[in-house]
Amino acid sequence: MFGKVLIANRGEIALRVHRACQEMGIRTVAVHSTADATAMHVRLADESVCIGPPAARDSYLNVAAILSAATITGADAVHPGYGFLSENARFAEMVEAHGLKFIGPSPDHIRMMGDKIAAKDAMRRLDVPLVPGSPGALDTLEEARAVAEQVKYPVLIKAAAGGGGRGMKVARSADELEEAWRVARGEAKAAFGDDSVYLEKYLDRPRHIELQVLADTHGNVVHFGERDCSLQRRHQKLVEEAGSPVLTAADREALGARVTAGLSKLGYRNAGTLEFLWQDGQFAFIEMNTRLQVEHPVTEMVCGVDLVKEQIRIAAGEPLGYGQKDIAFSGHAIECRITAEDPDTFAPSPGRVNTYHAPGGLGVRVDSALYSGYTVPPHYDSLVAKLVVHAPTRAQAIGRMRRALNEMVVAGIRTTLPLHQAVMDDSEFQSGDYTIHWLERFVAARQG
């Protein structure tokens, strides 16, 4: 087992990894920008190294500085968390080239799944269901027109190297295709330096469902069930559930068996999440994230497994030590992502937290690096806390979340707490009858 792990991230996920390491008897190294000098992960880590000024490109994306910090502190391994360099294949290669273990998938698999066209091609070979569309990148508008006529409108033009909703445009008719093609390619080039795009059938009322997997270096692959991440605004998730209100145990096992068999053939290792659209009882693969997900706590709550510890064990070469039949699913879990944003306009709201009070009680978990007196910097993602609850049933979990949201206090900045309270109070959400478009309509109605 490793003696020391460098955590190449910040905020609540850096603190989450630190806690797992501490419980395993592993020392931690926190890296931080000058803006994060007083951050909680820096204060609690065994060692810390400043790696640059506030801008992420000069600090948390500064590969040379991170590797230097790992070298001078004598770290054995690097955990990338999520975001920043977590899905950067070149960074994973450089970590391993410096004699360190990268706590994540192989660089080859990161690279493969980072290209959505390559990922779809791999899943096609592994018999994982796909959204109908082009088999690869489209070189011309005429090719796009031909595929669109085949799969029927509406269609979606998507960036091959995309993420976060950038480089995605819907064309509801042939008249709209040229504009969608032009805009998607322009956004893709600006955001990712690559204007490659492909085309998929646009599903008008899908749910966003993902499957959590772990794979060791001894050929063992298991899944930990699904998460329903359909409550999104502009392709950014706000609320997640495990399991999904619309799936049965048979649905879960059928999809899980197909995915684990495929990843075993692929030789995948460590944690991964396969994301699907689900509509009319059918799954369609959209992408795979080769890292820990923000919403991993809901899976941990229903399965009773520490996914971060498992990542570390796998990277150290240990076998999983259990099979699919040993994984039990208990109750229901919900996560609310609390962000430092105005709950009505979503304008960023960085600043000093005058008062912070985390809710507690049975079945309540808060993953956050906030504390009273902390100043939320303006330079990074606005996520400041993840409030997670677990209960025997979904209805009881909603009741517990309502109570926990009412207890939580973050004063001095605006947060999305009021929005989450409104969602939990809504009868349609309580019924489980929603799609990926529901939250945007809900927010628009609130704004009048």
Is 337 marked active-site?
Answer: no
HEC secondary structure over the chain: CCCEEEECCCHHHHHHHHHHHHHCCCEEEEEEEHHHCCCHHHHHCCEEEEEECCCHHHCCCCHHHHHHHHHHHCCCEEECCCCCCCCCHHHHHHHHHCCCEECCCCHHHHHHHHCHHHHHHHHHHCCCCECCECCCCCCCHHHHHHHHHHHCCCEEEEEEEEECCEEEEEECCHHHHHHHHHHHHHHHHHHHCCCCEEEEECCCCCEEEEEEEEECCCCCEEEEEEEEEEEEECCEEEEEEECCCCCCHHHHHHHHHHHHHHHHHHCCCEEEEEEEEEECCEEEEEEEECCCCCCHHHHHHHHCCCHHHHHHHHHCCCCCCCCHHHCCCCCEEEEEEEECECCCCCCECCEECCEEECCCCCCEEEEECCCCCCEECCCCCCEEEEEEEEECCHHHHHHHHHHHHHHCEEECCCCCHHHHHHHHHCHHHHHCCCCCCHHHHHHHHHHC
In the set 258, 291, 365, 394, the catalytic residue is 291
Nearest to 289 by CA among 211, 218, 234: 211
Cα 88 from chain centroid (whole Å): 15
Let me know: does 24 contact 17? Beta carbons within 8 Å: no
For residue 406, the number of C-alpha atoms closer than 13 Å in the C-beta half-sphere is 9
Q: CB pairs under 8 A, 24+ apart, for 163-167?
A: 164/235, 164/236, 165/234, 165/235, 165/236, 166/191, 166/192, 167/191, 167/192, 167/197
Catalytic residue positions?
Answer: 291
